[in-house]
A and B are shown apart, each in its own frame.
Chain A
Amino acid sequence: MAKTVVQEFTKGLWAEIPPFRLVLGLCPVLAVTKTVENGVGMGIATTFVLVCSNVLISLLRSTIPKQVRIACFIVVIATFVTVVELVMQAFAYPLFLKLGIFIPLIVVNCIVLGRAEAFAAKNGVVASFADGLGIGIGFTLSLTALAIFREILGSGTFTIPISSVSIPVFGPGFEPFTFMVEAPGAFVCLGLMLCIMNMLGKK
């Protein structure tokens, strides 16, 4: 038992790391990774929703009728997203403003609904918790990696999460590579990272 729980957790960190292995939930990945701070904030918010909804759906899995399960899952997820929204408004208002509509849009993040349908609806509470946490942390790591890449090249700074302090990485003569922080850079950067992941390991 203990071994399988660990396995459920670690598969989210490498074997099924979103969005590289599971190509789901691309929109927040592309949109919020302009700075490291936004990337980490979004990752934590998504992880919270993922873990809570996985646990609750796993608890309710025998009660929810098969025919209306998707609707039930969406209600559960939307509830937790509302919780995140309210908590962020209270304690992390600047970050909430920066992430904007992408916080309510966690509801339609395919990763969350995908895990509910593919995993939590069929497995026990402990395994679902481990699965949600693993996938969530994997998602946060991917967002952070992409954000570090884009922020350092695109604006030449590194923003430490939570403290909002930007440290210039290069000297004063650095000309920011604006392409990276704009939309085209996001697509190209993610595409190249996916390519590197494909080179590193075969599934």
Chain B
Amino acid sequence: MSDYILLVVSCIFVNNILLMQYLGNCPFLGVSKRMETATGMAMAVVFVLVLAGAITWIVDHYLLKQFGFEYLRTLAFILVIASLVQFVELFLRKSIPALYAGLGIFLPLITTNCAVMGVCLINIKEEYTFIQALITSFSYAVGFGLALILFAGVRERILLARVPKPLQDTSIGLVGAGMMSLAFFAFKGMV
């Protein structure tokens, strides 16, 4: 049990996917300008990442490894993720329109979010069991959401500040992300 708690803490804080593993930075800078879009994106990532983590693990263990097709991993994973995103989009539109209204526009963006693919590959590389893979996928996604929402708060403040012209927009965003990353850096000694 304590192993699992350790895994959760290390995935959310110590190895935060955005600020420590450098994955998923395009949506991080793209949608963090407003709080609502950041929240929507964070929820969509949690939803898709847990599903993708579970399915790619099954595909890897019961299809690719069984028949010795490991070299097709990249191709197989991206296809699984792309079709999963499409499927989730259709499913939500049909059965849970309220949730679709919230997540809708963020879902297609997730296909090219390297955090999703990255976590699926980390799960395989670290040779996690199915339960561990599920927990890591969920915790990494929560870590992503946490960093994204915190950062959106910071950026809403930056909008009010007087920033020198060349530093505006993405540039100051990156410097701000660096400062946040420094804060998360302090967790490093914990686990």
Hey, which bits of chain A sit against chain B, CB under 8 A? 23-27, 30-31, 70-71, 74-75, 78-79, 81-82, 85-86, 100-101, 104-105, 107-110, 113, 182-192, 194-196, 198-199
Q: CB-nearest residue of chain B relative to A81?
A: B74
Question: What separation, in Å, do the CA atoms of A108 and B109 have in the docked complex?
Answer: 11
Identify the stretch in B24-32, B59-67, B138-146 within 8 Å (CB) of chain A at 4 or more residues.
B24-32
Q: Say whether B118 contacts A25, CB under 8 Å.
A: no
B162 at the interface (CB under 8 A from A): no
B90 at the interface (CB under 8 A from A): no
- Across the interface, A107 reaches (CB within 8 A) one of B78, B168, B177, namely B78
Binary A-proximity of B150-191 (CB < 8 A = 1, otherwise 0): 000000000000000111101111111111011001000000
Which residues of B, 109-158, contact A by the 8 Å Cβ criterion? 111-114, 116-118, 121-122, 125
CB contact under 8 A between A26 and B25, given known A101-B122, A191-B173: yes
A48 to B: closest C-beta gap in Å: 15
Question: What separation, in Å, do the CA atoms of A192 and B166 have in the docked complex?
Answer: 10
Question: What separation, in Å, do the CA atoms of A186 and B175 have in the docked complex?
Answer: 9
Across-interface contacts of B20 in A (CB, < 8 A): 183
**Interface residues of B, count at CB 8 A:** 45
CB contact under 8 A between A105 and B114, given known A78-B74, A86-B71, A195-B167: yes
Across-interface contacts of B122 in A (CB, < 8 A): 101
- Across the interface, B171 reaches (CB within 8 A) one of A24, A85, A183, A198, namely A198
Question: What separation, in Å, do the CA atoms of A86 and B78 have in the docked complex?
Answer: 17
A203 to B: closest C-beta gap in Å: 12
Q: CB-nearest residue of chain B relative to A188?
A: B178
Q: Known pairs A26-B25, A78-B78, A194-B170. 20 more at Cβ < 8 A? A: A26-B29, A27-B23, A31-B21, A70-B82, A75-B75, A78-B79, A104-B121, A105-B23, A105-B117, A108-B111, A108-B113, A108-B116, A110-B26, A110-B112, A191-B170, A191-B175, A192-B171, A192-B175, A195-B167, A198-B168
The 4 closest A-B pairs by CB, nearest first: A191-B174, A187-B178, A188-B178, A191-B175
Interface pairs (17), CB distance under 8 Å: A24-B26, A26-B29, A27-B26, A27-B118, A31-B22, A74-B79, A74-B82, A75-B79, A78-B78, A82-B71, A105-B23, A107-B74, A108-B78, A108-B116, A187-B181, A188-B179, A194-B170
Majority SS at the chain A contact face: helix
Q: Say whether A26 contacts B26, CB under 8 Å.
A: yes
Question: What separation, in Å, do the CA atoms of A189 and B179 have in the docked complex?
Answer: 11
Across-interface contacts of A71 in B (CB, < 8 A): 82
Q: CB-nearest residue of chain A relative to B181?
A: A184
Across-interface contacts of B168 in A (CB, < 8 A): 198
Q: Say whether B166 contacts A199, CB under 8 Å.
A: yes
- Across the interface, A27 reaches (CB within 8 A) one of B22, B74, B75, B167, namely B22
B98 at the interface (CB under 8 A from A): no
